[in-house]
Amino acid sequence: MKITPRPAAAIMSLSLAAAVLTGCSSEQAGGEDTSASEAGCKSADVRLVGQVRNESNPYEASWLAGGDAFAQSVGLKQERLTYDGDSTKQQEQISQLLAGDTKCLVMNVLPNGDSDTPPIVKGADQAGAYLVTQWNKPADLKPADYKTWISHITYNGVESGQQIGDALATAIGGTGGIIALQGILDTAAAKDRFAGLEASLKKNSGVKLLDQQAANFSRAEALTVTKTLLTKHGDNVKGIWAANDDMALGALEALQQAGKAGKVAVVGIDAVPDAITAIQGGKMTATVSSDGTWQGGIGLAIGYCVATGKLKVADIAADNRAFFAKQFLVTKDNAADFAQPKSNPADYECGNVFNRVAGPLT
Amino acid sequence: MTAEEVVTAPRRQSRRGASFRDAGPPVALIVIFGIFAALSPQFRSIDNVQNIVDAAAVLAVVTCGITFVLMMGSIDLSAAGVMGASALTVSLLVANNRNDNDFGLLGILVAVLLGCAFGCLSGLALVLLKVPSFMATLGVSAIGLGVATLMFAGVQPNISDAMLESWAIERFLGFAYLTWIAAACILVGWLIQRYTRLGRYAYAIGGAEEVLTLSGVRVKPYKIAVFTLAGAFYGLGGVMVTSQLGAGLVQAGDGYDFSAITAAVVGGTLLTGGRGGILHSAVGVLLVMVLTNGLVQVGVSPYWQGGVEGLIVVAAVAAAVIPQRRRNQVVK
């Protein structure tokens, strides 16, 4: 890195340094250490890092809370990193981490996008740091080809899109028009979830998709789009399918402003706390939970088990190296169970860390 | 008085050009409205017209703020952060599910004042530290988002304040209260622009700051005041989004900075400063809202909408500046 005496550069490097304060002075770990660390670190030497986009939404906040809960259960502290959805910043944080002592480093990372995963994986592999990634990776990049990239965890969007589609169909009695609010159109999550809705529509032939619009996973955009669609289709709209809960909550506000609260069924995905409350109050029909708390804990738990030698990477079944994790349909019947994000220490025991594998990622 | 003459002199020269140029955006608005109305019966329904105007409310308020800054020839990218901070502030101060506060109107006032403070900060950074407005406001936006994230603390505050909630739901003469608030903002903005020294100096600074300085006018306090005023509008915008969404979101202002600049420019306020104004921007806001609404109503596929919208915006701006092309202005 070129060092320039400009104040902006100084401030930037200062803040970066602050983010990874503990690792700065150490020498970079050589390649030789990689094989040695396989033998096992002492529990107290393990360094746990959870990295997500930001702490300004309930989902990622619960992710970090889950990481904290796991770290506490093994007497450690999780380092929380956030990169504000900025790919460059994420890479900088990772390289700073990897420049420090990486011998017992465990990282549970949410890559910003598919293309951000390869450099993280390569860096971690060279430095011998244990890595679990979630949600985003290119299809041809496989953990099985690497020694310390233990697992990639993601969720089957087609399945969740279909689950809430079916729940919506049931809620409107199997017949009637619905509208769909899509996410950011060029993301895999938006594509898969919508494909799930299409599959559900095929099965429920009485349900008709009147219109589909992109509201970019945003509560505010969903509010505007829903109001427009309600004026366009009027009382024909019996249900609203939203690709995430934020949009579903925006749609609920739109219904309230149009005086149609309670007359139109609404479904979403993610199980954010407000959506759970809305389901408990009967305003919303269903959502799907990936259990963010568990995601935050499990990535660290898997890494911790390998780092301390309780699990061997070589012994992990191929299907567990990249997998779809179990997700849960939340309706009024079970909403209370999801109202309080909580982590179950049993999930993180080294024998149980792969208990939620729902199927291999193909 | 000398300053007054400097302000009006260049305008007098281009009187005919000005009126021609000013007619562009309203004509574009009418034409685009006409086309959509012909294509879609739902689009021309009373319900939908109300919907368009209601949906324009927040953008109109934010654009009011940004217009003053643009008139001055500066740029302001702080809307997203300031709105986020104000949204969180107001949602934590009125009745909500996070704490026992119930300050009502006072909470709203505090949120607007917080917006003022952020705007003032941008202005001070520009005037005292000589940070270009582009960077200063970007920084202030980041500060705003940071403050908002701290207040968010992992749990979304949902408001239960009856008055604030009613702003988005209750109607007067067919329009939501928020729309009337936006209309009041436009009126206030127009009065400031037309009748106060602050408004006229904002124009003059954008037109020819050097001349103004040479005439003995101290422009710095006015620059700070303009940014502070803009901040107040963003603060109110954040409050209005909170009312609409029923919750305080860090992302309350997402995208509003660029939508507002787009609306102002489409309406005929130039990024180079010294031209346009509140009424121009109001037309620009309506144009943008008619466009987004119309494309949905006539059933343009969502995969196409972004591109089509961008194309129409560029075409509209191009049409609006054609009368100026003769003057061979440098475009940057």
What integer pLDDT is reported at residue A188 of this predicted model?
Answer: 81
Quick check: A38 contacting B, CB < 8 Å? no
CB contact under 8 A, B302 and A249: no
Lowest average pLDDT, out of B114-118, B180-184, B215-219, goes to B215-219
3-class state of residue A330 by DSSP: strand
What integer pLDDT is reported at residue B191 of this predicted model?
Answer: 96
Name the pTM for this structure: 0.81
CA A72/CA A259 separation, integer angstroms: 48
**Interior angle at CA A196, CA A272 and CA A163, nearest 5:** 55
- Comparing CB atoms, the residue among A58, A223, A224 nearest residue B155 is A58
CB contact under 8 A, B305 and A274: no
* Nearest one of A61, A63, A342 to B153, comparing CA atoms: A61
Q: What average pLDDT does the segment A315-341 reach? A: 91
pLDDT band at B217 (very low <50, low <70, confident <90, very high): confident
Q: What average pLDDT does the segment A259-281 reach? A: 92
Q: Mind telling me how many Å the CA of A51 is from chain B's nearest CA?
A: 15
B45 chain-A contacts, CB cut-off 8 A: 231
- Comparing CB atoms, the residue among B156, B245, B254 nearest residue A253 is B245
Domains of chain A: 30-155+291-326+345-360 (3.40.50.2300), 157-289 (3.40.50.2300)
Give the percent of chain B with pLDDT over 70: 89
pLDDT band at A166 (very low <50, low <70, confident <90, very high): very high
Which of B24-28, B214-218, B228-232: highest mean pLDDT? B228-232
Q: What average pLDDT does the segment B27-32 reach? A: 90
What integer pLDDT is reported at residue A207 of this predicted model?
Answer: 96
What integer pLDDT is reported at residue B268 of this predicted model?
Answer: 85
* Closest-CA residue of chain B to A185: B303
Axis-axis angle for helices B278-297, A219-233 (nearest 10): 60
ipTM value, please give it: 0.82
Q: Mind telling me how many Å the CA of A196 is from chain B's nearest CA?
A: 18
Q: Is pLDDT of A282 > 90?
A: yes
Quick check: B47 contacting A, CB < 8 Å? yes
Work out the burial of residue A350: count CB atoms within 10 Å of its CB; fewer than 13 is exposed, 13-18 middle, 19 or more buried.
middle
Q: Render pLDDT for B90-136 as a digit per residue (tens, 0 to 9).
A: 999 999 988 999 998 999 999 999 999 999 999 999 999 999 999 99
CB contact under 8 A, A58 and B156: yes
What integer pLDDT is reported at residue A230 of this predicted model?
Answer: 94
Q: Domains of chain B: which residue ranges?
A: 21-323
What integer pLDDT is reported at residue B151 of this predicted model?
Answer: 93
What integer pLDDT is reported at residue B79 of this predicted model?
Answer: 95
Give the percent of chain A with pLDDT over 90: 70
Contact indicator for A109, A118 with CB cutoff of 8 Å:
no
Q: Render pLDDT for A82-130 as a digit per residue (tens, 0 to 9).
A: 998 889 999 999 999 999 889 899 999 999 988 999 999 999 999 999 9
